Amino acid sequence: MLESGEQFGRYEIRSQLGAGGMGEVYLAQDTALNRNVAIKLLNDGLCENQEHLRRFRQEARAASALNHPNIVTIYEIGESNQAQCFIAMEFVEGSNLRRLLEKRKIRLKEALDIAIQTASALAAAHAASIVHRDIKPENIVRRPDGLVKILDFGLAKQTIFPVQSGKIDSEAITQAKISTMPGTIMGTPQYMSPEQIRGKPIDVRTDIWSLGVVLYEMITGSLPFDGETRTDVLAAILQTDPRPLSVYKPNVPVELEHIVKKALGKDCEQRYQVVKDLHLDLKLFQSELDSSIEISKSGSFLVAGASATHTQTESHLKSKHSVTSGRRLWLTTSALVFLLAAFFGYYSWRQYQPAKTNYSASLLASSQITSWKSDLGESAASRARLSPPDGKLVAYVASNNGINSIWLKQIGGGGEPFTFAQDDSTKKSPIFSSDGERIAYISERGERRGIWTS
């Protein structure tokens, strides 16, 4: 153990930050650049094994090439005069998510923000062919300004995946994880994906699973899979389904329930295939939740055409059995507000529309997607709108290859869905005009936010 004031190369040790299965972590001062850094000293066992050391250096170099605001920067990978391996990295002031969970309940808006930033970091890592494989609350740090930083990119891979003769040793994988005590750097079984437990090949979807576990824990305050022993935990991950979020939070929006459920698909093929899609769904849900809260506070409604419905309020995103006598009183009072807002909202909307153009399904750009069922999904179906007056078209928001678009599907007539307005802007809540020839939707384009029509 290093003492405060001790010199370690060009670093002056200030204090110990923690210790775990891979080594000890210290706060130090970089005397050459006059900045605080975190120094991780690896255990002698890792340094003495040349194959482990080679893999560690290779993965640490790959991780050091990542340049993302939500990923901790690696400054140096080296070896001291005493032949002790170390990593010098960015020191992040703040609390890791584990401490936050132990201290207080995480608000839904806060949980979404942490999950979105974590997904953004993972997307950057996956684009560089780096899989973290040890996403857990201990490796997620939140600064006082709200910025989230992900720790230990590339480091967990070495310990979790011992190699024998070029093949993954599944028994060693299980032993390495199970023998890890809670609170150490390597992680705990609760966040392992089913394929990790079985010793199957690992890809980016294992990070998606682990992030799903973390999101579930932030929302409910409980783990989706737990047990009295580590064996019980592993069995639960492989064999049982987690309780719905609504068991812990009766008013949780159903769309969030679907997002978490998809992230925790036991079969990799049932899970999100890329973290960008999970990130997009979380951003869309966050945007709709923010909009509903703003509308609830203002008491106003948005009307776009005679057949349009008002924008969902926060209460519409909640379970029906949350209705109370107080809410009934609120609804009665707001009915008068709705009638006035409907008139002025419709009038204002018509004033700012461009000249009417002919619109028909045949003029829309056609785009092939995998299947109507898999693209629409349950969460998208809850936002679908039927076209008046015959109801033969349904409009919904979905993502394809990471691009958020409005899709249309003919009901009962077969054929593939088709799309329009396919760009990088955020879109939500599509609605048809009364004659069924135009579609209005809410969109965010840079700093501009409003109603757009097609």
Token code pair at residue 293: 């809260």
Contacts of residue 449, defined as CB under 8 A and 6 or more positions apart, other chains included, come to 442, 443
What type of residue sits at position 108? L
Spatial separation of the C-alpha atoms in residues 64 and 57, rounded to whole Å: 10
What type of residue sits at position 212? G
Q: What beta strand segments (E) does 151-198 contain?
A: 163-164, 167-168
Listing from the earlier edge strand, what are the strands of the sheet with 393-400? 385-386, 393-400, 403-410, 418-420
Q: Which of 30, 113, 134, 281 is catalytic?
A: 134
CA 447 vs CA 349, 425, 443, 444, 450: distances in Å? 20, 11, 11, 7, 10
Token code pair at residue 330: 């609120």
3-state secondary structure 349-373: HHHCCCCCCCCCHHHCCCCCCCCHH
Contact 286, 253 (CB under 8 A): no
Terminal alpha carbon distance of the chain: 66
Cα-Cα-Cα-Cα dihedral sign, residues 214, 216, 222, 224: negative
Tokens 């207080």 found at:
104
C-beta neighbour count of 293 within 10 angstroms: 14
Q: What single string gives the DSSP state of each residue in 42-91? A: EPHHHHH-HHHHHHHHHHHHHHHT---TTBPPEEEEEE-TTS-EEEEEE-
Is 241 an active-site residue?
no
Cis peptide before 430, with omega less than 30 degrees from 0? no
Dihedral (Cα; 56, 57, 58, 60), 10-degree rounding: 80
- Mapped onto helix, strand or coil, the DSSP state of residue 252 is coil
Element (H, E) at 394: strand 393-400
- Mapped onto helix, strand or coil, the DSSP state of residue 445 is strand
DSSP 3: P
Token code pair at residue 201: 């090949």
User: Mind telling me the catalytic residues?
Assistant: 134
